[in-house]
A and B are shown apart, each in its own frame.
Chain A
């Protein structure tokens, strides 16, 4: 919907003067440039202005962190000089996804798509979901985040069996239709837990505090989102819901956590795994898609990005566009089966 100006104006000096007064970081923004030669007539394509990157969540969360990490390395070394990636946070989820889907397919609007939340919303709330998940132009994937069942450290539940045996227990989660709420519901269903769910927490911090003060007995959240609280011994992981090959090596404490397969629930393993997928609107011209896919793949393989991810404690599981498309197709099939069941249960 929003269209950027064709070319930043040549007001360099004035901009610099004003910017110095504001703040040096902003100067860098002004210095980012223009003057890129227009693309030639042949099949190849190159961006000649900034690319907008939509994050359908508020700043500070996982999707935002990954996006900014990629954007930084990508514009530094994998895009023409002066072309920047402008990260735009556009919550709430349905609106963010819709604006990715409905933008002009010109390569200047891309975004990070949470799976399976996108397809689950599409099935659950067809009126709201102004998109068709399967039609996005897929550029690649940066991470897979397997879910984990956690309990507060002082909980009476030592193993997943204890939880299954318990009666009238309570879970807390974020908004309905999010990937982690789905993972929680799938867990409750597969394990046949006698549990009620309180929705509406705003992010991981609220989920953890609610559990710590005893307002919830357990919760299901991503494996990489709560590292600080696991390491401090405030919460304990009971079961890993991803598959064996989704286990990130970099997260040490996760290696000893029983997986759903080991615990005897193979159908739950990988049923809901959060994929962080980079997409463009449908019908993106092939040369444009090719250019962006290559730039993204190169960025995710870049030493600088890998180092950053390690330092930030953000495991990365990069996948090519074809692999990602296949994974998305799998999740769509899965969700078409799972979501109606959850709605019934």
Chain B
């Protein structure tokens, strides 16, 4: 069977009812697991493996590939609607997707994402079919120095992208890298920063951090301000026409679409480099290359670029997997493992021995992407209704679902504590205008950069390989160029003296300095602990914590010393880019202004009041109303934070099964101010639904707590 007739063979086998049935089940599985925060698509694929045991290999593979290709778009839906990416590949979509939702344009954003996802994967597939003969040389040209530099480039891009608060962006990126060091060192055999906790040996998962920093933080913010997601949606319709408008919009930007898709496919071709990097690089090439950008404020191109790229990346990742037997991504690793179980040997010979499987996979990727995007377009009008749900109902549900999802991943109580802890950290970071996205990227790219750096040095005997190998050299130059370009454009940017003074003032609020100082203590602690590690395990922690400590000291020095502040205030000043990172469109903060009237149960609270005070474009409103609103927000915030801490403590002490309904009820009743009746009804229905889904269907073992072992 040659490659061409494999296509016919594949089509023949695919046009059976049973194949199509499994295909649809696969897409559904991918969509649902992609949609649920915490449960990623690869969990869904792994769960299906046992049930395919008796299936025809062709149908089983159809099921797996459909699940794999169906998940990326689904994750963008939650990123757009509730600022919670389904998995880290969708994190870049929150930049502009969520602001669109807040403007009541969620349906439009989903339309853009659906069409960009589908076309991205179509373009990606076209590229990989063309590249099939070149697979080997492409794969073999990326060695350890190239992988290192790709990661460094990603980190550089993300750091400079946090315009206006570059130093805070850098610090956030360093925090992400430090978190990535927790657990086993990739090389050197040390276990780092685990403090004797066995649960930390495998590190802190990106998914957990994502749940905390996005879902929990966002829900907290919604309920405290008691706002629907779509704040100014009163006038605009959420109907189907908006979704189609979004889908059509993609066709008006053909070049951006193709650029982003090519970039995504290219990243996908290189094993071990994930879709998260693809999405971010696409986002920032868009931000740098389009005319008249409004990125961060709901520019649809900011949804188009990362979504096209992350679906194209899946197509790209199929190439090394199918043509060479080298998994292009973690999901493909599972699918290749499943192939082996079904007697198919992945490897360079697959295309010769079983071209039908290769063609089937290619067609299923296109088909699954089409079907899942269609789901999106068809259901978007209903899905966007979530943005009109009042916060008192939506936010507690998001918190509970996110935390249960965090637990569901590994059935570990510590994951729940981390999700809540990162939620509070995210809230503090947001309050001081520190972007969270660099943290995510540092966490995701950290292990890859560290591992390949050490492997480069070991294999090539030094740093010379980084500049003596052509592709690596190009990446080095690109990294330097990105940084230089950014510094030059910051220097050229005309910032009025007034704006600068304002920026410096907001950057030197006591709470900001306290958080930055706290991070400095963390950096110093990491540095001290790192000196005990063995040689190879030590290199990165020492470098990163030193840089972080230096940045913190620089920040504090500029803030504290008047002379430095006058001369170099621009270094730390919050710029116009800051609000974008904080996902706080204009007007949102109007209601939050709070002149120190509340009692501080938590360190976050008083400072938050100061924080919002400065950023607010104070609305002239009736003083009495303002006063009442302020007091109200303060109470909500206090209750919400107490409840989150109680949530963590409850899960630790008596387990998830008891804590979830109790906290859900209390959140709705005492933060959301729902009536007794609706709080009770929602609590019962939600708890039952969660129980059925997680315990009965997914068979998640429930763990008791410290006081209530069972």
Please give the residue numbers on chain A whose beta carbons come within 8 Å of chain B beta carbons, in ascending order: 1-6, 8-9, 11, 14-15, 18-19, 22-26, 28-30, 50, 52, 58-61, 64-65, 68-69, 71-72, 86-87, 89, 91-92, 94-95, 98-99, 124-125, 128, 130, 170, 172, 175-177, 196, 198-203, 205-206, 208-210, 212-213, 215-216, 227-229, 231-232, 234, 308, 311-314
Contacts and interface: CB of A to CB of B under 8 A. Distances in A.
B350 interface: yes
A94 B203 CA distance: 13
A113 B50 CA distance: 21
Interface in B406-446: 411-412
A191 to B, nearest CB: 21
Contacts of B49: 59, 68
What are the 10 tightest A-B residue pairs by CB atom distance, in nearest-first order? A228-B347, A60-B337, A311-B343, A25-B51, A232-B348, A213-B140, A200-B187, A15-B696, A23-B29, A4-B701
Nearest to A5: B702
B699 A86 contact: yes
B219 to A, nearest CB: 24
Contacts of B710: 3, 6
Interface in B299-340: 325-327, 330, 333-334, 336-338, 340
A307 B140 CA distance: 36
B326 to A, nearest CB: 4
Interface of B is mostly: helix
Nearest to B140: A213
Contacts of A128: 191
B134 interface: no
Interface string B670-699: 000000000000000000110111011111
Given A26-B698, A229-B348, A232-B348, A98 B198 contact: yes
A50 B696 CA distance: 13
B68 to A, nearest CB: 13
B340 A313 contact: yes
B210 interface: no
A165 B451 CA distance: 31
A205 B458 contact: no
A68 B345 contact: no
Nearest to A52: B701
A312 B696 contact: no
Given A26-B697, A229-B348, 11 more contacts: A11-B691, A29-B697, A59-B49, A65-B337, A92-B183, A130-B198, A172-B459, A210-B143, A213-B141, A227-B347, A229-B347
Nearest to A10: B696
B374 interface: no
B455 A198 contact: yes
Contacts of A130: 198
Contact of B47 (A26, A71, A202): A26
B28 interface: yes
Interface in B335-386: 336-338, 340-343, 345-350
B201 A94 contact: yes
A55 to B, nearest CB: 11
B29 A22 contact: yes
A162 B325 CA distance: 29
B517 interface: no
B459 A65 contact: no
Contact of A59 (B29, B184, B334, B411): B334
Nearest to A91: B202
